């Protein structure tokens, strides 16, 4: 999000307010999604420590992204650059904890009932690595401001899935719950494209790469889920755990205790 090598960022290009407002909307969506889950009694603070660590790290990123955009909009570039050092390293615990939580949920056999267990096992890591790829590209292109902002925006958009899923009627969207959630988060970069066209008369090519990476993550998830490779991954992951008795491509019955996920 900022210069990691201490080099100055490229000059502002006139779209700072759009990205700052969009960051605020994304933050509001994430907070609303998880607050609704808690308020409805479908989650609690009694989750395992790993889940709490995961939540703290991911919410930390949300606010890093928000403040980075606010700093740019307010021309506080020194703060933006300092926070960029933290942001660059923040992805590592996000990747580690995100994958660990996914594995723990699948091995416990507690995948949300509106997801196929194998699909859930694949989609979370693929999404995380797509986010990491987009964010890394944005950092490498930090001196090319228009690319930098848009690739970060797409990286942040792909992380909205869990929060958006908590706002959507996911049981009613089965068997296309994940795909429906993806369609909603894709609205965010599409709005970015339309904002570019309205402001500049054309969309910046960074959107093509960012949206393309998001769609590629969806297609890769689907391809692995319904392949022998996916089956082998699931068997190897769940071996010796309660998840081994769960059919990888069958939906579980709705729970009777009101909880819908093993990681909430």
Q: Which residues of 108-120 are buried (b: 16+ CB within 10 A; e: fewer)?
A: bbbbbbbbbbbbb
180-235, pLDDT tens digit by residue?
Answer: 999 999 999 999 999 999 999 999 999 999 999 999 999 999 999 999 999 999 99
Q: Does 7 have pLDDT greater than 90? A: no
Q: In angstroms, what CA-CA distances link 171 with 17, 37, 156, 203?
A: 37, 14, 25, 36
**pLDDT digits over 74-93, tens only?**
888 888 888 988 988 999 99
What is residue 226's three-state secondary structure? Answer: coil
Centroid of chain to Cα 101: 14
pLDDT of residue 80: 86
Burial (CB < 10 A; 0-12, 13-18, 19+), residue 1, is buried
CA separation, residue 227 to residues 116, 134, 200 (Å): 14, 26, 43
Q: Which helix (H) or strand (E) holds 23?
A: helix 16-39
Q: Is the pLDDT of residue 37 over 50?
A: yes
Please compute the mean of the pLDDT values over residues 13-30 and round it to a whole number. 91
pLDDT above 60: residue 264: no
Q: Under a CB-based contact definition with an 8 Å cutoff, are residues 222 and 146 in contact?
A: no
User: What separation in angstroms does the CA of 84 have from each of 81, 139, 157?
Assistant: 5, 9, 19
Residue 8 pLDDT: 40
Three-state SS sequence of 38-92: HHCCCCCCCCCHHHHHHHHHHHHHHHHHHHHHHHHHCCCHHHHHHHHHHHHHHHH
Locate 180 and state its tokens: 């429906």
Query: Token pair 């693929």 is at which residue?
Result: 126
Cα–Cα distance between 72 and 76 in angstroms, integer? 6
Q: How far is C-alpha 6 from the chain's CA centre?
A: 28
Cα 224–chain centre separation: 19
CA distance 90 to 197: 33
**pLDDT reading at 257 higher than 90:** no
First to last CA, the chain: 29
Whole-structure pTM value: 0.88
DSSP 68: H
Cβ distance 29 to 163 under 8 Å?
yes
């Amino acid at each position: 999000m900022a210069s990691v090598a201490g080099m100055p960022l490229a000059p502002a290009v006139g779209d700072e307010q759009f990205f700052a407002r969009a960051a605020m909307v994304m933050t509001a969506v994430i907070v609303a999604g998880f607050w609704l889950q808690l308020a409805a009694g479908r989650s609690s603070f009694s989750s395992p420590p790993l889940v709490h660590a995961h939540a703290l790290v991911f919410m930390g990123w949300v606010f890093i992204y928000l403040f980075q955009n606010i700093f740019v909009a307010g021309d506080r570039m020194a703060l933006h650059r300092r926070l960029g050092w933290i942001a660059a390293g923040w992805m590592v615990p996000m990747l580690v904890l995100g994958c660990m939580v996914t594995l723990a949920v699948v091995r416990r056999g507690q995948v949300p009932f509106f997801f196929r267990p194998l699909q859930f096992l694949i989609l979370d890591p693929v999404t995380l690595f797509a986010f990491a790829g987009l964010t890394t590209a944005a950092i490498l292109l930090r001196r090319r401001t228009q690319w930098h902002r848009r690739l970060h925006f797409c990286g942040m958009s792909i992380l909205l899935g869990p929060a958006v899923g908590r706002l959507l009627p996911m049981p009613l969207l089965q068997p296309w719950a994940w795909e429906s959630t993806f369609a909603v988060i894709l609205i965010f970069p599409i709005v970015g494209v339309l904002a570019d066209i309205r402001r500049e008369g054309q969309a910046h090519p960074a959107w093509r790469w960012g949206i393309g990476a998001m769609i590629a993550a969806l297609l890769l998830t689907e391809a692995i889920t319904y392949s022998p490779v996916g089956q082998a991954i699931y068997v190897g992951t769940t071996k010796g755990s309660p998840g081994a008795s769960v059919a990888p491509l069958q939906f579980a019955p709705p729970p009777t205790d009101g909880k819908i996920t093993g990681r909430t």
